[in-house]
Amino acid sequence: MAIIAPSLLSADFLNLERDCQMINKSEAEWFHIDIMDGHFVPNISFGPMITGFIRKTTSKFCDVHLMIENPEKYVPAFQKAGADNISVHIETCSNLHQNIKQIKELGMQAGVAINPDTPVETLAPYLNEIDVVCMMSVHPGFGGQAFIETTYEKIKQLRKMIDASGSIVKIEVDGGIGIENVADIIAAGANVLVAGNSIFKSVDPIATIKKLKEF
């Protein structure tokens, strides 16, 4: 059964505490917090301060996804804000081993995020160092995009790489996930499902999360 990680990027920020409490009441295990800088991706979301406010609402696992350049400058601030896992993008890190080491030394789990156009093979040197691969199934920077169909093969390829390496890395899939494709994503080998609009725009978000957990 996959972990469900609602993406707060799709929450109602005028009612953020309400939406956080909805996740607390639901069967979702993780909070997914997307950080965008307007450089690596074209949009800007929020930073450590809002992350800290989200952390105060929950004891659940806070999964912070840094879609930013120079992530090493900001990792300590997100650790202080309460992140349990930080994922940095392979595309932005000139010394990814060092980025992973920094996150681990601050007492958090470490993840590596990968864009749709980046080959899965580039992850091979890091699989025994990290806890999570955040595989983007949409182009990062905006919510509400359609799932990229080629992601299924990338998940299967990554699952084979992980199994062959003997590591226990979780495959987190981020973007365009809903009731209509969740079964195929899990069958391909995913462990963690990040869902935004399909949860927060639904008539009954708690029921939608429950439905996602049934697959």
Q: Is 34 a catalytic residue?
A: yes
Give the whole-angstrom CA distance, residue 19 versus residue 7: 11
The three-class DSSP label of residue 19 is helix
Q: Give the DSSP letter of residue 147.
A: P
Q: Is 131 a catalytic residue?
A: no
Please tell me which residue in 63, 131, 174, 204 is annotated as part of the active site. 174
For residue 33, which of 73, 87, 80 has the smallest C-alpha distance?
87
Q: Which amino acid is at 67?
A: M
Token pair recorded at residue 32: 């997914």
Give the whole-angstrom CA distance, residue 158 versus residue 164: 10
Please tell me which residue in 19, 34, 63, 131 is annotated as part of the active site. 34
Give the whole-angstrom CA distance, residue 179 versus residue 211: 7
Give the whole-angstrom CA distance, residue 65 versus residue 105: 18
Q: Which amino acid is at 47?
A: G
Q: Give the DSSP letter of residue 123.
A: G
Identify the helix (H) or strand (E) that includes residue 97: helix 96-105
Active site residues: 34, 174
